[in-house]
Amino acid sequence: MTRFYVVGNLKMNMLSREEASQYLTVLRRESSSKRYAYVTGIIAPSFLYSAQFDDLPKSIKKGAQNMFPEKSGSYTGEISPLMLKNDGVEYVIIGHSERRLYAGETDELIHEKLLSVLKYYMIPIVCIGETRAQREAGKAEQIITGQIRTLFSDLSKLQAEKVIIAYEPRWAIGTDILPTTSEIAEVRMIVRQVLTEMFDTATEERIAVLYGGSVKSSLLPQVAFETGMEGVLVGRESLFPYELVKMMNLFEEEAIRRSKI
Ligand code: 13P
């Protein structure tokens, strides 16, 4: 069955509890009457407002933007997987390119985080993607392949199939410069090949791959429907609940259309 994900990464936005609560009021209004058979919405707010996001509409699950791999202890400023789990978080974004860039995260650390998210029965949304310079040097395939091999190393098939991958080319984040439909479709193929080599076809088919980077509802055909991607990871546009719900509606329509073919 087709299954799509629309993930809102709210990043370091909303500067007060009041702002977060206004956002939630609008989100509840926009999505209150909607039911989805094929689409899961996920919203990852700042940790500070996580408790306010307990009462989300049924179709939208609570996510987090990052996590430390250890359960508890002397790790000043970090957030533990068990804290997230106990707070009702179901999905954790890890390895976002902004964390790689500003916090120096490596594939090895992200691999550790991935194992930890799974250990505490949450779902990792793990980000991969190349820089502009790497793409221009013809190295996109090599970078993506290397990232997947490290991130999925030592995972059992049962663990691997729970992971969601988000392909976010760094140069498309926050820029309104997008890869072409065929560039995204090509990455989808590369991911498929590497995962099939590492595991098997059945496992590969269960691993959802999303596209992220300057996504808007009007671009869904170009970045998702025609590329084989199973959803989107959205930054700026997720700050508008109306847009987020619109994307969920469009994915639902696309899934219904496919179910009739
Ligand atoms: P934008 O949608 O703002 O380009 O951000 C994408 C992103 O980084 C989502 O995680």
CATH of the domain at 47: 3.20.20.70
Distance CA 22, CA 177 (A): 30
For 100-146, write each residue's pLDDT tens digit.
999 999 999 999 999 999 999 999 999 999 999 999 999 999 999 99
Contact yes or no for 51/86 (Cβ under 8 A): no
Which of 92, 97, 234 is the best mutation target for the ligand 1 pocket, counting ligand atoms within 8 Å of the beta carbon and taking the most? 234
- Residue 29 pLDDT class (50, 70, 90 cuts): very high
Query: pTM of the predicted model, to two decimals?
Result: 0.97
CA of 175 to the centre of ligand 1 (A): 9
Return the H-helix or E-strand segment holding 20: helix 17-31
pLDDT at 142: 98
For the segment 44-58, the average pLDDT, to the nearest whole number, is 96
CA of 212 to the centre of ligand 1 (A): 6
DSSP bridge pairs for 4? 39
For the segment 39-58, the average pLDDT, to the nearest whole number, is 96
CA distances from 174 to 116, 177, 227, 230 (A): 29, 8, 21, 21
pLDDT at 37: 96
Cβ 236 under 6 angstroms from ligand 1: yes
Q: How far is CA 106 from the centre of its chain?
A: 18
Over 80: is that where the pLDDT of 41 sits? yes
Report how many domains make up the chain. Answer: 1
Query: Which DSSP letter does residue 167 get?
Result: E
CA of 193 to the centre of ligand 1 (A): 26
CA distances from 152 to 64, 79, 107, 161, 231 (A): 21, 23, 10, 10, 20
Distance CA 58, CA 261 (A): 28
Secondary structure percentages of the chain, helix, strand, coil, to 5? 50, 15, 35
For the segment 240-246, the average pLDDT, to the nearest whole number, is 97
Q: What is the DSSP string of 56-110?
A: --TTEEEEES---SSSSSS-TT---HHHHHHTT--EEEES-HHHHHHS---HHHH
Which of 100, 167, 219, 236 is the best mutation target for the ligand 1 pocket, counting ligand atoms within 8 Å of the beta carbon and taking the most? 236
- Looking at the chain, the number of H-run helices and the number of E-run strands are 11, 8
Cβ 9 under 6 angstroms from ligand 1: yes
For 151-192, write each residue's pLDDT tens digit.
999 999 999 999 999 999 999 999 999 999 999 999 999 999
Over 80: is that where the pLDDT of 249 sits? yes
Over 80: is that where the pLDDT of 27 sits? yes
CA of 173 to the centre of ligand 1 (A): 5
- Residue 49 pLDDT class (50, 70, 90 cuts): very high
Instruction: Provide the mean pLDDT of the chain.
Output: 97
Over 90: is that where the pLDDT of 2 sits? no
Nearest protein CA to atom 5 of ligand 1, as residue: 235
Give the whole-number percent of the chain exceeding pLDDT 90: 97
Contact yes or no for 191/150 (Cβ under 8 A): no
Range of the domain at 165: 4-259
CA distances from 101 to 96, 114, 138, 242, 260 (A): 9, 18, 21, 30, 43
For 78-105, write each residue's pLDDT tens digit.
999 999 999 999 999 999 999 999 999 9
Over 80: is that where the pLDDT of 33 sits? no
Over 80: is that where the pLDDT of 1 sits? no
Distance CA 63, CA 41 (A): 10
Catalytic positions, written as ranges: 96, 168
CB-count exposure of residue 170 (10 Å: 0-12, 13-18, 19+): buried
Query: Which residue in this structure is represented by tokens 């916090």?
Result: 103
Q: How many CA atoms lie within 13 A of 185 on its CB side?
A: 9
pLDDT at 242: 96
